[in-house]
Structure 1
């Protein structure tokens, strides 16, 4: 190893000034850390393999690239996709491992953060040791490895959220928020390319799929509207109606089958269609409608005879964007909470968040996880991919459990494909939330926060 690399590793493994200050046994901070934060194993692992992957740059993709590649699916392309995933996932994991190594010692030794670190490192080691994939059978085995990793990583979101909340007193909240946003965007990116490849493999292995040689002008999607996980004809009205019905059902599940729920009125350009990954959009719309329904019921009462004011969803489209504006009359957001709605670590309800998140050991961050049953995965009897997510049956949470993650995580999802999410609260009246989606699919994924571009 070169002297420069050795020096870099020395800096990474050297305890920060904060950690050195903790050596005073009389420090109340030390007592806190010793009771709740010190892991039983050493999370620092100097590794030349890690250094090699950190030195590489991630290769971002766009929805258009995913679609173009999958529409012309052949065995050769499927194997190219497998080897892209095989080399790209460990690179992206290596950068996030390095981000965690740069954290103050008191943060990285938090048991929840340390658990994520170990999970990522184990996944990194398995992926970097995977040999080149040359046959369909080798690809099938690789997909099983990917599925296992996706399942094992379902605890990452609650673990990170709890760890960040527990360490809020030791590190500025803005730094923790940037760290968590980068970790979550990277998580979305890895799951996107991994699930896309698994979905392409399922399509290729389907008895209804007939691959052709490249260059013959044949549409290899066989008329199916899905290309892997990308839905080519995502319809704005259908998304709102589906999410709205599910959220209304959730409300009745939580408050009683006869409890009133607000009507959802759709206006504007509801027939707008665009390519998108449904699970991403459904999570955002579902969280926004869920918040509006809950706020409306809480403000106007749950008397079965009460006529609740409706929730209005205005859909607009331009050449480049589809815009959703969700307006409710739920009384607005309390002034003590509003400044912190986009933060994962700030706000007056930290202790309640910790209690609630601890009740959710796994999170797939999909709309389907709110239910005990799932639409399932894979290819249906008609040869068409179902619109569920492969992670839906693996995690769920109670419908009335507030985690404080919905809005900030929804913004992370929106910004991942170069969209945006904004919120305007009208005190004592209601909330307007504006979601902007890029409908062309030509923007590269945003892997990190702008302040952390050196960590791509």
Structure 2
């Protein structure tokens, strides 16, 4: 679906969700599910008000330009930043709260989705009750609140995955998740919004921690894509070793001295996902072969506008008809680890798994697109797969607010 119809559908869901909140606030008995906490009339009106407001997008360059290294100026800038977030975050959260109220196929009624909505609502209320940030002391208190919110939302992705898995189990026989275009459209917008919210909160929190050389908050002004790739490869191979008992070698090509401004944690997440998939594909492909698995190749190329990282494997590839499915949520050929979360509880952290959630590639592509990049996967069935990660080198692309 193109961007314009998708945006129009999202606005309809937000508007419809706000109306449902207002209706259920006035008529509590109209609530469809007993596990959903009713909204007060005042809260529903406030969410509706903020869900109608426009959000303010930022770029990587904006963040780098706003914050200086001078300590005195930084304190003043942090107060301005805190007040901006105090006004901006409720708008972003209200959009999500309203949209979660109006999802198709009964998804809004799933207990896991209601749980996520309750986290967003609590954070919305906390932010709205916080007074204006006027000085450094106010900023310190506000930052403590942001840390609580950041921690509260840490398990949004796996809990939402459980809700989607429940929907998948309830689908009529013969209907697959990849046919539910409006659900995937919602998930793309929801997770893109989550990336933006956590970026803004994480950046503000990080700026209050002891300074690191060549860092402005979460952003490294001298991010080496080769070094980040090597760190991600080490993590991916460790997980592969834990699951399979062995891991193919990975060869990295590129200039380790080349750097640019980027968020290393985002880059690590994306490269880790691509390498992890390649390691798993090659282990599966060569499991019964008499020859040793060849190395996975990671190539880092510097362009004037883009940095491109290519991950190539010889894991047998996938069919052309299967390419579209890899970008759909909960599509995976591995055993799902969601049961681990169900057993551990929604508030617990769960161990990393090599595969199984079906969220890795779609969310990694959103991370790439957040700062103006993209991700492509080009398979050669019977041989292997080339994955391309494009990163905007200029840092001038505004957030693609859904």
Query: Shorter-chain TM-score: which interval?
Result: 0.7 to 0.9
1:430 aligns with 2:384: yes
1:226 aligns with 2:215: yes
1:339 aligns with 2:324: yes
In structure 1, the residue matched to 2:159 is 159
The 5 A counterparts of 1:258-277 are 259=246, 261-269=247-255, 271-277=257-263
Cα distance in 2, alignment partners of residues 400 and 7 from structure 1: 38
In structure 2, the residue matched to 1:247 is 236
In structure 2, the residue matched to 1:320 is 305
Task: List alignment gaps of at least 5 residues for structure 1.
Answer: 1-5, 16-36, 207-220, 364-393, 449-456
The 5 A counterparts of 1:13-32 are none
1:39-80 C-alpha deviation (Å, 9 max, x unpaired): 423455552221221232111111111111222542211110
Cα distance in 2, alignment partners of residues 14 and 349 from structure 1: 42
In structure 1, the residue matched to 2:98 is 98
Q: Offset of 1:348 from its aligned partner?
A: 7.5
1:309-331 C-alpha deviation (Å, 9 max, x unpaired): 01111221211100011100011
Residue pair 1:280, 1:413 contacting (<8 A) in 2 also: yes
In structure 1, the residue matched to 2:3 is none
In structure 2, the residue matched to 1:295 is 281
Q: Offset of 1:86 from its aligned partner?
A: 1.2
Q: Offset of 1:351 from its aligned partner?
A: 8.7
Q: 1:51 to 1:252 in 2, by over 3 A?
A: same
Cα distance in 1, alignment partners of residues 318 and 277 from structure 2: 11
Q: Secondary structure of the residue that 1:265 maps to in structure 2?
A: strand
Q: 1:403 to 1:336 in 2, by over 3 A?
A: farther
Aligned residues: 370
The 5 A counterparts of 1:93-242 are 93-104=93-104, 106-168=106-168, 169=171, 173-203=180-210, 224-242=213-231
Q: Secondary structure of the residue that 2:190 maps to in structure 1?
A: helix
Cα distance in 1, alignment partners of residues 376 and 343 from structure 2: 29
In structure 2, the residue matched to 1:397 is 351
Residue pair 1:234, 1:276 contacting (<8 A) in 2 also: yes
TM-score by length of 1: 0.74
Match for residue 265 of structure 2 among 279, 283, 303: 279
1:143-196 C-alpha deviation (Å, 9 max, x unpaired): 111111111111211121222232343896111111111111111111111111
In structure 2, the residue matched to 1:86 is 86
Which protein has the bigger helix share? 2
Q: Secondary structure of the residue that 1:201 maps to in structure 2?
A: coil
Residue pair 1:70, 1:228 contacting (<8 A) in 2 also: no
1:69 aligns with 2:85: no
Cα distance in 1, alignment partners of residues 392 and 16 from structure 2: 44
Cα distance in 1, alignment partners of residues 137 and 128 from structure 2: 19
Q: Offset of 1:338 from its aligned partner?
A: 3.5
Residue pair 1:44, 1:101 contacting (<8 A) in 2 also: no
Residue pair 1:156, 1:362 contacting (<8 A) in 2 also: no
TM-score by length of 2: 0.83
Q: 1:285 to 1:173 in 2, by over 3 A?
A: same
In structure 2, the residue matched to 1:59 is 56
Query: RCO (CA 8 Å, sep 6+): is it higher in 1 or 2?
Result: 1
Cα distance in 1, alignment partners of residues 149 and 186 from structure 2: 22
Residue pair 1:79, 1:133 contacting (<8 A) in 2 also: yes
Q: Offset of 1:93 from its aligned partner?
A: 0.2
Cα distance in 2, alignment partners of residues 250 and 43 from structure 1: 43
RMSD: 3.1
Residue pair 1:155, 1:361 contacting (<8 A) in 2 also: no
Cα distance in 1, alignment partners of residues 320 and 17 from structure 2: 45
Q: Whose Rg is larger?
A: 1
